[in-house]
Structure 1
Amino acid sequence: MRKSISAAAVALGGSLALAALVVPTAATAAPTTGSTCFDLGVAGKYGEFIEGNDTHSPDAEGAVAVGGDADFSGGFTVGNELASAEVAALPGGRSLVVGGDLITSKIVDGKLVKGLTKTMKGTGVYAGSKIGEGNLEGVSKGASPIDFAKEFANLRNVSAALAKTTGSAPVPNKEDGAQLDFVGTDADQNVFTVDAAVLQGYREIRINVPVGSTTIINVTGGSYDQNKNPTTGFMIWDHAKKAYVLDDKLQSADGGAERAKLLWNFPTATSVTKRSGNAWPGSVLAPNAAFDLGTGGPVNGSVWAKSLTGSGGAETHHFPFTGCLPGTTTPSESPKPSESATTPGGTESPAPSGSATAPGGGESSTPGGSESPKPGGSAGATPSPSASHTGSTGGGSNGNSGGGLAFTGADGILPLTIGGLVILGAGGGIVYAARRKKANDAS
């Protein structure tokens, strides 16, 4: 018995001492606070994610989710370009989700036109009623697997937070409204802020940023319309070719590297109009806007909007956003519905940090000549993002910030160390007392 008491005392003392040393070590190993990517949630998995109604034909290459009614009476196919892993990541494998009614036919010139709604990859579901005599393939009635109110509260929080990020202003390359240049040199992140009236005042929009950089273009104002001047094309600098390349499905600068990490953010716009015929590179976040795709030309990326209309060749092409949107994980507080037409949270939209003006008005900073700027050159304003960025997660839509321990860094280490020493002393005292008792019993 005496031997077992002594052994137990030694074991207890050693365990307490070890615990005192291990706890501070765990504290120093906890992750420190750094840059994270906003999580776009379920919405980030869809190429067309609409809060209200969606009237669209003939197809969308990625997954489509509609919170309201979907009018696919002109015929609509979904998800042809989805990979198997992308389908598996969708809620229930649903590449098409309609929260309201699904309209499948219409009367044109007095004749009934029946549209086919078909999922090419994955399956589709509609929660309301099937209206019309059109056909369905891979689509059935059932409950929506998406909480659209929750997802759009998240998107509005993300959009409002991104709008607060300090951005450089684009630089007019010519005074006649011909070209507007977005030039950045940061390898990780380039942020620009521009008023919608300025952006729609130029016929050609040019972007020159390093390969692999996340590019965020915050567009302020209540509406944006590419038909105003009109905007005729979007060009991206190709570093291998050392020339600007017109973005389209079959070609893009550096194999689409810049396009994949390009986000157009419209935090306060209630209407966004793409000019028919334009191929618009990058993804568009316009959670409060009615989005008009026009009758031709794609968005080469995802669209997150309040409502959507489009027909003809006006499609959403499957080029998922893979950039890192800097910030913390999205706030739990959701903006009130009454605030949806303004910047979520009731804050005013940021003014451009530069003085680029619409053509024909005021002063503007113009690079010398119209020659294409070289990568990393001095043409244009160099962005100075305010958010600390320590590297991209590469996940974009699926990027989540780590939870870590309850404390990080040196805070809490000193108290734990002192506590550990006290426990260590107590353990030693137990061992000493046990040995002294053993000696007295022996005598």
Structure 2
Amino acid sequence: MATAAAMVGVLAPAAGADPLPGGLGPCLGSSCPPSWNDPNNGPVEYFDSNINVYVGGDFLVREAAAEAEGKVVTLGRFDMDKRDGVSQIYNVGIAGVGSRVPPPDGSDYLTAGGDVTIAEGERLLAEEGTHSGRVAYAGDLTGTVEPATAPRFDEDAAAPYTELRPQLTEASHCYAYDGDEHREATGTWVKTGDLMTFTGDGSSAIQIFDVDADLESEAGGNTGFVFNGIPEGATVLVNVYGSTRSVATFMGSFPNEGLRENLLWNFPDATDLSMTGPAQFEGSVLVGQPTSTTVLSMSGTNGRFYTAGSLTHTSSGTSGGQEIHAYPFDGDLPTCTPEPTPTPTEPTP
């Protein structure tokens, strides 16, 4: 079942709105596409310099996971050890099927603040045809990385990105909480059978949903998602509370252009997050806890993937070919930067 969405109403201005911290989210550079196609295998025509996958801990590739499109940064180690009998390749930067918007040629497709370890007989690819990038690492390199010109040792490789980790943690908490209380929702949701329906208020510029439950069917299986009452151009913020959470979906693509680029699934509390399902997960993901582990075995994700913790990209059962696709997040989010306190001055005589 495809995900449905209804865009209605006129936007009411947001009381306070900011982008993601550190410049994360939108496409960056002079070669961004004018619009974003659904996953495809067309020619590469555009490029994006922004980070698509950010991992504050370690990034592990297991089982039959296939690729992570866009610029990838992990502050820890990158460790690839797939199972026997499946493709022994993992692509970074450029994907055979995806948005087809890789980082610029010659830039760092992958940056690791620790070791890069590729199991014997496996290959990490940072190239396709005439397009290729670099693999920067601050630790040791073990195994095969292609092209041969890709590996680049730099003991400070991850240094420009370290401050993003606490910023993402703080932002994730701020988006979900007002003090110690859940941030006020503007919409409601209901779970019926194998469908979750989110209904907005039809006017708010930031549509906020409060979900203290797993994103799965009533029976604990895969679910679809429907969004109604969302004004055109609004940001959709789904705050999913709880320390252990599961997302299981068969969702397809949104029928309304632009919703994917304005949807953020925020997990401020989760230290154990499982994301499974046979279809594409639309929208960007933010996992705020630095001690968290996210196990991602969905067939595909279409959006930014930012976690302050660790990420395992893997497969489930006999499936394979799991992919992270590069799509921007262009939405506006609740303001989290404290207002500066004016410095007192003497009155002018």
Give the TM-score of the pair, scaled to structure 1. Answer: 0.55
Give the alignment's Cα RMSD to 1 decimal: 3.1
What does residue 59 of structure 2 align with?
54
**Separation in 2 of the partners of 1:258 and 1:136?**
36
Q: Which of 282, 294, 299 is 2:301 aligned to?
A: 299
| Matching of residues 141-156 of structure 1 within 5 Å | 141-143=153-155, 144-156=157-169
Alignment gaps of 5+ in structure 1: 1-33, 107-112, 235-245, 332-400, 420-443
- Per-residue deviation, 1:139: 2.7
Q: Which of 185, 188, 204 is 1:170 aligned to?
A: 188
**Contact 1:38–1:158 (8 Å) recurs in 2:** no
What does residue 321 of structure 1 align with?
329
**Contact 1:72–1:117 (8 Å) recurs in 2:** no
What does residue 309 of structure 1 align with?
312
What does residue 217 of structure 1 align with?
238
Alignment of 1:99 with 2:104, yes or no, is no
- Per-residue deviation, 1:100: 0.7
Identity %: 26
Q: Measured at CA, do residues 139 and 207 of structure 1 come closer, stay the same or move farther in structure 2, by a change above 3 Å?
A: farther
**Separation in 2 of the partners of 1:204 and 1:82?**
26
Alignment of 1:37 with 2:18, yes or no, is yes
**Separation in 2 of the partners of 1:200 and 1:192?**
16
**Separation in 2 of the partners of 1:97 and 1:134?**
13
Deviation digits for residues 295-319 of structure 1 (CA, Å, limit 9, x no counterpart): x511111111211122432221111
Deviation digits for residues 208-245 of structure 1 (CA, Å, limit 9, x no counterpart): 2222110000000012223xxxx4433xxxxxxxxxxx
**Contact 2:249–2:277 (8 Å) recurs in 1:** no
**Contact 2:175–2:336 (8 Å) recurs in 1:** no
Deviation digits for residues 188-217 of structure 1 (CA, Å, limit 9, x no counterpart): 1100001124x3344222222222110000
| Matching of residues 268-279 of structure 1 within 5 Å | 268-279=269-280
What does residue 206 of structure 2 align with?
189
Deviation digits for residues 61-116 of structure 1 (CA, Å, limit 9, x no counterpart): 211001111123543222225758x649xxx942310111111223xxxxxx2313
**Contact 1:116–1:135 (8 Å) recurs in 2:** yes
What letter is aligned with 1:210? P
What does residue 140 of structure 1 align with?
152
**Separation in 1 of the partners of 2:191 and 2:164?**
39
- Per-residue deviation, 1:169: 5.8
**Contact 2:208–2:237 (8 Å) recurs in 1:** yes
Provide the secondary structure at the position in 2 that maps to 1:254.
coil
What does residue 204 of structure 1 align with?
224
What does residue 179 of structure 1 align with?
195
- Per residue, is there more helix in 1 or in 2? 1
- Per-residue deviation, 1:141: 1.5
Alignment gaps of 5+ in structure 2: 1-14, 26-49, 82-87, 178-182, 315-319
**Separation in 1 of the partners of 2:89 and 2:310?**
18
Q: Measured at CA, do residues 272 and 263 of structure 1 come closer, stay the same or move farther in structure 2, by a change above 3 Å?
A: same
Deviation digits for residues 293-350 of structure 1 (CA, Å, limit 9, x no counterpart): 21x5111111112111224322211111110112143x6xxxxxxxxxxxxxxxxxxx
- Per-residue deviation, 1:118: 1.4
Q: Which of 289, 293, 297 is 1:290 aligned to?
A: 293
Provide the secondary structure at the position in 2 that maps to 1:158.
helix
**Separation in 2 of the partners of 1:188 and 1:168?**
10
Q: Which runs of 4+ in 1 moved over 6 A?
A: none
Q: How many residues were matched structurally?
A: 274
**Separation in 1 of the partners of 2:144 and 2:293?**
28
What letter is aligned with 2:299? G
What does residue 135 of structure 2 align with?
124
**Separation in 2 of the partners of 1:327 and 1:321?**
16
